[in-house]
Structure 1
Amino acid sequence: MNALTAQHTAAPPLRPLLVLTSAVVLAHVLLLQAAPAHWGMEAERALKLRPLITRSIEIKPPSPTAALPAPPPPVQRAAPAVAPRLQQNTASALAKKEPAAIESIASPVPEPTATTTPPTPAPEPRPPVAEAAPATPVAAAGALTIPGSMRLKYSMTGRSRNMDYHASAQLDWLQDGEAYQAGMVVSAFGLGERSMASRGQITGDGLAPTRFLDKSRSERAAHFQPDKGKITFSANSPDVPWQPGAQDRVSVFVQLASLLAGDPAKYPVGSSVSLFTAGPTGADTWTFVVEAEEKLSLPAGEFSAVKLTRKPQRDYDQAVEVWLAPSLAWLPARIRITQHNGDFVDQQLRVAEKPL
């Protein structure tokens, strides 16, 4: 009983709650009735103050696509200039491979001064061979006939350091029965010029040189002094004893011609001719062996010639081959010189004419 009585006594009274609830509801009703009029006026005023703005958008049909301009042509960029360097390298390579010398009758010419390989000259028409000037018989222990004055021009081909080259040569032979002059000039495009000259007397033993000159970049000379019994050299080389019949590197070929012209039967195949021969720095005995007669087809025409060969006697000697033609008063129609390393020069008659 006491518990139930206590629980009933603690419950709040219902009447005051109902009164409070009714008051709250009534206040909300009054507020809602007054709000529409006020809010409607404010809304209407806002609509009247804010004009309605409209915008029309015209949608145009798509225009036809314009033709795109052609793309510009690609720019051609110039390659870096390399020609000068290539030319320089080519020139250096060619300079290394150019022939070290043109071998003339028996010795080399100066080093080349240009880097271009000379073009092969066009073949020239064969000119008629001029009639040789009258020969000069010489009374001697052995018969000799000195060839008359003549000019011989040669076409030359050669090889040096595995490079082929072309050149030209001219032999001028002049004599008046008492004295003589002989000169050989060798020239090549881009390789310079070399000359060798001999002068002396005509004696009972044939040619007797007094001076031999070898000229390229410098001059070197050999002086024959039979009265003093020696041959001296301007190149400060040691003197050598003079020997009867001594020749130089130009006169030796004319002396051979004089010997065979004087008595061809004296020099059959297999016989030999020995001549003490001086160059610009020394002297040595050149021994030529007579070989068979050959038919030559040269730029100047067809020739019959007797071949003579000088065999090398030492490791560094030159091999010399010379063809003496009776129709040229036994002067050389062809000369070929081969070095110990295989380099060679081959000069073949192109023109034979009377000297100017």
Structure 2
Amino acid sequence: MSSPSSPPTTSDYTLTGRRWLWVLVLTIVLHVLLISWGSRQFSVSQPVNRPEQIILADLVPLPPVEKPVMLPQPDKPKTSAPKRAAPAAKPRPAPIEQVPDTPIRETVTPIVDVAGAPGNDAVAGAAAPPEAAPAATEPAAAPTETATKAGKQYRTNPPPSAELKYDVEALNKGQNYHGSGKITWHTDGGSYTMNLEAGALFFTVLDVKSEGEINGFGISPITFTQKRFRKQPTITTFHRELNQIVFSDSNNSYPLSGGEQDRSSVVWQLASIGRGDSSQFAPGAVIDMFVAGPKDAETWRMQVIGEEQISVNGDNTDVWHVIRIPLAGSHEQRLDIWLAPQQEWYPVKLRFTETDGDYTDMSLSKLKRLDTAAAN
């Protein structure tokens, strides 16, 4: 028979306890290492705020903003004037040319001297009254000169018809969106239509239409329609008969004085000015335009930053950079325009920046000339 097993001794209990203690310590160490490793592997990295690239530009002090008056081009009158004035108007130009060449005050003082000069002969005194009659017509010509100097005259030549497609990038409330846009520009030399559509993700960012005529002022809008997401379209009308700008979404009205634009035609008016005479663009130059929106109108001060070279659809392109910066305290958006002289001054890039930093960036991806109409 086998002998019964001996009961466990105290040393056996001690050995077993030590083993379980080491197992417990090892388990704790392994848990600590596992937690440390897991926190490194699965921790969420903090977002890095990368500040948006800022383009610095030195802006020179500008004169106070006033409602601009744009004057029509004098091209056609200049070509016909020599033929009419050459044969019969030679004796009259001499006195007429002296009036605009001298200030108004200098024109008035000689008339007073002739009428009241004490040293004139009797014949001269008799001849003075007849000369006083034409002198009355000279002050009438002087106000026309001051009215002419009150406005600004630009030579314009709108770009040919084209379809421009853009890659769209938008930042809205911290989220980036990508999409596409298109501008369709039609002109027959006497009228124009412009449609702009831009979308990002599943919503439309911009949807505007401008149509009107092309005359001595350049681009002259008649109607401007703007459609926003989930809102009724607004219509701004440039009433030639009423000589007013009126709005479907407000009771405001403004008088027409020549050269007024809407928020989309202003880009094409700038392109027309560049094509009309490129010397009208110079670093620091200011082009003031009275621009109407969906509810009201105000003067937009467009400042030419200068010539730059940017990447357009993978190609380095020489452009003129023009900006519109709203007045301090305004809630209007900033507008950056890049016009390419080697591509008929088409807008190859547009950027609309809100006061809170959100923006919509449109960069040209494809350009197609349209043969349906041609500009001047």
> TM-score, normalization: structure 2?
0.56
What is the aligned partner in structure 2 of residue 172 from structure 1?
Answer: 184
- Structure 2, unmatched stretches of 5+, are 1-72, 77-152
CA contact (8 A) 1:211 1:221 kept: yes
Of 302, 313, 317, 2:332 maps to: 317
Whether 1:188 aligns to 2:200 is yes
Whether 1:332 aligns to 2:344 is no
CA contact (8 A) 1:293 1:306 kept: yes
Q: Write out aligned runs for 1:207-218 (5 A).
A: 207-216=219-228, 217=230, 218=232
Q: Which moved more, 1:154-163 or 1:314-323?
A: 314-323
Q: CA deviation at 1:251?
A: 0.9
Whether 1:352 aligns to 2:367 is yes
**In 2 relative to 1, CA 228–314 (structure 1 residues): closer, same or farther, beyond 3 Å?**
farther
Q: Write out aligned runs for 1:21-60 (5 A).
A: none
Whether 1:304 aligns to 2:318 is yes
**Letter in structure 2 aligned against 1:166:** H
CA distance in 2 between counterparts of 1:237 and 1:301 reads 47
Q: Deviations over 1:289-348 (max 9, x none)?
A: 111211111226321101011122132232211111012211211111211111111111
Shift >6 Å, 4+ stretches: none
Q: Which moved more, 1:259-268 or 1:341-350?
A: 259-268
What is the aligned partner in structure 1 of residue 84 from structure 2?
Answer: none
What is the aligned partner in structure 2 of residue 238 from structure 1?
Answer: 252
CA distance in 2 between counterparts of 1:151 and 1:138 reads 31
Q: Deviations over 1:95-152 (max 9, x none)?
A: xxxxxxxxxxxxxxxxxxxxxxxxxxxxxxxxxxxxxxxxxx9947532111110111
What is the aligned partner in structure 2 of residue 200 from structure 1?
Answer: 212
CA contact (8 A) 2:291 2:300 kept: yes
CA contact (8 A) 1:138 1:146 kept: no
Q: Write out aligned runs for 1:26-175 (5 A).
A: 139=75, 141-175=153-187
Larger radius of gyration: 1
The structure with the largest helix share of the pair is 2
CA contact (8 A) 1:147 1:257 kept: yes
Whether 1:222 aligns to 2:255 is no
What is the aligned partner in structure 2 of residue 96 from structure 1?
Answer: none
**In 2 relative to 1, CA 250–138 (structure 1 residues): closer, same or farther, beyond 3 Å?**
farther
Q: CA deviation at 1:193?
A: 6.2
What is the aligned partner in structure 2 of residue 116 from structure 1?
Answer: none
**Letter in structure 1 aligned against 2:211:** R
CA distance in 2 between counterparts of 1:275 and 1:192 reads 28
**In 2 relative to 1, CA 339–138 (structure 1 residues): closer, same or farther, beyond 3 Å?**
farther
**In 2 relative to 1, CA 277–300 (structure 1 residues): closer, same or farther, beyond 3 Å?**
farther
CA contact (8 A) 2:237 2:245 kept: yes
Q: Deviations over 1:10-54 (max 9, x none)?
A: xxxxxxxxxxxxxxxxxxxxxxxxxxxxxxxxxxxxxxxxxxxxx
CA distance in 2 between counterparts of 1:279 and 1:167 reads 25
CA contact (8 A) 1:152 1:349 kept: yes
> TM-score, normalization: structure 1?
0.59
CA contact (8 A) 1:156 1:347 kept: yes
- Structure 1, unmatched stretches of 5+, are 1-136
Q: CA deviation at 1:194?
A: 4.1
Pairs aligned (count): 220
Identical pairs, percent: 30
What is the aligned partner in structure 1 of residue 126 from structure 2?
Answer: none
CA distance in 2 between counterparts of 1:288 and 1:139 reads 25
CA distance in 2 between counterparts of 1:308 and 1:191 reads 28
